[in-house]
Structure 1
Amino acid sequence: MQDTHGSQHAASQGQDPDERWMRRALELAARGPLVDANPRVGCVLVSPDGEVVAEGWHRGAGTPHAEAAALLAAGDAARGTTAYVTLEPCAHTGRTGSCAEALHAAGVARVVHAQTDPNPVAAGGAGWLREHGVEVRGGVLAEEATALNRSWTHLATTGFPWVTWKLATTLDGRSAAADGTSRWITSEAARHDVHRLRSECGAVLVGTGTALTDDPYLTARHPDGSLMDTQPLRVVMGERDLPEDAHVLDDAAPTWHLRTRDPKHVLTALAEAGVHHVWLEGGPTVAAAFLADGLVDEVVAYIAPVFLGRGRPSVGDLGITTIGDALRLEPTDITLIGHDVRVTACLKESH
């Protein structure tokens, strides 16, 4: 709970009280599941005298939206409050009702939202509320809210999931030795890190070449080998058949075999299934296909202090013949993982 004096003090210090409460809503939103078809959203209901009346956040598909959860907790006390919501209240009735209508019906006097809803199906809640006499302020901490739902926003605005290409490479850019062996280029600590990041994605994707050569499980596992609670959808793209006893076809997680070599076809199918973050672990040929089509948004590279001299390159031919045409990335993080360096970078001109 926060008192009136605290709110007045924040204002006297030049701080925007709306930002203060929105930061709390963002904290709540972050409690929602990363791997879900829906965005993570938080809501705080604040009384006119600066008291928190109720809080809520979205817990996953089919559960009440953040606004509905907060309104349920508040009951009649919601009347006259200000609702701080990290995403524009939806104006769409699906599995759950319209949040804009629910806020109005509960007597909420004012709505402050961060990110404008980029989903054309659900957008328009702010306008609906204004038309029905509710004061609305938008764009408060919009950048922070958008970053919280980066991949979901990307899907809503582009029609494609956010694609993170993970690669493990030697200092001289090799992903396998001359005899084809690639286990293990990187350290055990790096592999554990990969499993952690896999678990935060909706799907992990490889080509049939990787599936046949490495016979991977593509599951997300704890350091002791046990399966994590959240498993990505395993996707193999390519026209070749997989043996019935392939590890990727076991019952540890669902698996799709999409018989196409077209990255756009794969991403379209995943988008239709509500997947908004794809972890690409394909070999150099698949990686080159995604890069050539402009469908890689981020790269997570584990660089081992190893030289091979010969062997398979980490990426196939991109058709680049001059340094001026090189694909330039913007590093967002560089971290030492065991003896390896993890470099995270985004394509400067992502679609």
Structure 2
Amino acid sequence: ARGATLYVSLEPCAHTGKTPPCTGAIRAAGIARVVAAMPDPNPVATGGLGVLREAGVETQVGVLEAEARELNAAYLHAFASDLPWVTLKLAITLDAAIADNSLTTSRVTGPAARQYAHRLRAGHDAVAVGMNTVRVDDPQLTVREAPAPRVPPARVVFSRTGRLSLTSTLANSLKQGPVIVLAEHVDSEYEAALRGHGVEVVVANDLAHGLRQLRAMGIRSVLVEGGTVIAGALWEAGLVDRLILVQAPVIFGEGALNAFAEFPAMRAGAARRLRVVSRDAIGDDLATTYAVRGA
């Protein structure tokens, strides 16, 4: 690597944490030039470019900075808010349905899109659903069809009463990652049963309060996978940072469950236009990411 140019999406760190500073490794490798897309906002880690310049390494910052800010959005958000970064992901049909008129669980998107969904899970600190989704689908919410992250994401269940069944897959897969029930209120006896089973319980006044408690627990980013009730509640409360719609080329038609059924009604002239961050073909499906809050 001696004499080479190193390209990074974030300024190399100059502090010693769990590992030695990146700047030391860069100097030891003989890197001659470092191009960083953006400076590090972390007050503990910043200053690496200055250290490198003092050591005689040529530096440049700001190349593709907008793209880097989107890539590092959840990380940047952690230094600007006491809320976690919330991504709402919905798998829908061309007519915006998440289930057919039988309202039973069914796979809407194809295999490639499911792998994409698992990559999204791997990139977040927590994966969350509402209690209705748990009752209908009995999901695992684990990363299975993508490389597993070093730390498995926590599984979060939004529930008014906190009554997660102790026979559910979530309650019986704690070795796959922690399970957190976020509730408005929960019977003290049932709360004790959940805690005794190993399930964490967070009681919150509202969604924002609950998310702040998750952030205080070290959860910086949450991927919400539905269903309609929690999606609509988060949207109405203004707590969604990114919306990802994965759309399959099928139509369910009359009686299907609309993904936006619980969103607040908006007049055409008042409805906000979202910024498209990216559009990607994933197999036969189309994934579109929209910026709702933030850059």
* Percent of aligned pairs with the same amino acid: 31
Q: Distance in 2 between matches of 1:300 and 1:266?
A: 22
CA change 1:148–1:300 in 2 (3 A) is closer
Runs (5+) with no aligned partner, structure 2: 185-203
Give the CA deviation at 1:122. 3.0
2:170 is the alignment partner of 1:248: yes
- The whole-number CA distance in structure 2 between the counterparts of 1:286 and 1:165 is 10
From the superposition, tell whether residues 84 and 218 of structure 1 become closer, same or farther in structure 2 (CA, over 3 Å): same
Q: Does 1:301 align with 2:223?
A: no
What is the Cα deviation at residue 292 of structure 1? 1.3
1:228 counterpart residue number: 148
Q: Which letter does structure 2 place at the counterpart of 1:63?
A: T
What is the deviation of 1:350? 3.8
Counterpart for residue 263 of structure 2: 318
**Matches of residues 1-351 of structure 1 in structure 2 within 5 Å?**
1=1, 21=5, 24-26=6-8, 42=12, 62-70=18-26, 73=28, 84=34, 86=36, 115-119=38-42, 122=44, 125=47, 139-141=61-63, 142-143=65-66, 145-222=68-145, 228-230=148-150, 231-238=152-159, 239-249=161-171, 250=173, 251-260=175-184, 262-304=206-248, 305-347=250-292, 349-350=293-294
Distance in 2 (CA, whole Å) between partners of 1:302 and 1:336 is: 9
SS at match of 1:241: coil
> Residues 236 and 197 from structure 1, CA distance in 2 versus in 1: closer, same or farther, beyond 3 angstroms?
same
Provide the aligned length of Structure 1 versus Structure 2. Answer: 267
Post-superposition offset of 1:82? 8.3
Q: Could you tell me how far 1:117 is from its partner in structure 2?
A: 4.1
Deviations 1:240-275 (A, max 9, x none): 311112111212222111223732123212322333
The one-letter amino acid paired with 1:234 is: R
Paired AA for residue 247 in structure 1: T
Query: Residue 116 of structure 1: CA displacement?
Result: 4.1
Counterpart contact for 1:295–1:350, Cα < 8 Å: no
Structure 1 residues 220 and 333: alpha-carbon distance in aligned structure 2, compared to 1, 3 A threshold? same
Deviation digits for residues 214-261 of structure 1, max 9, x if unmatched?
Answer: 1100011128xxx83543111112123111121112122221112237
Q: CA 1:124–1:222 in 2, change beyond 3 Å: closer, same or farther?
A: closer
**Distance in structure 2 (CA, Å) of the matches to 1:144 and 1:313:** 33
Q: CA deviation at 1:144?
A: 5.1
Q: 2: CA distance between counterparts of 1:155 and 1:220?
A: 23
| Bigger-Rg structure (1/2) | 1
Deviation at 1:137, TM superposition (A): 8.2
**Partner letter of residue 333 of structure 1?**
S
Task: Report the CA distance between 1:66 and its aligned residue.
Answer: 1.8
Query: Structure 2 vs 1, CA of residues 233 and 137 (structure 1 numbering), >3 Å: closer, same or farther?
Result: same
Q: Which amino acid aligns with 1:336?
A: A
**How big is the shift at 1:125?**
4.8
1:150 and 1:350, CA in 2 relative to 1: closer, same or farther beyond 3 A?
closer
Q: Is the 8 A contact 1:116 1:138 kept in 2?
A: no
Query: Given the superposition, is the C-alpha separation of residues 343 and 64 from structure 1 closer, same or farther in structure 2, using an over 3 Å criterion?
Result: same
The 8 Å contact of residues 115 and 138 in structure 1, kept in 2 or not, is answered as no
Residue identity matched to 1:245: T
| Cα offset, 1:123, TM superposition | 7.5
In 2, Cα distance between equivalents of 1:240 and 1:297: 25
| Other structure's SS at 2:80 match | helix
Deviation for aligned residue 1:84: 4.6
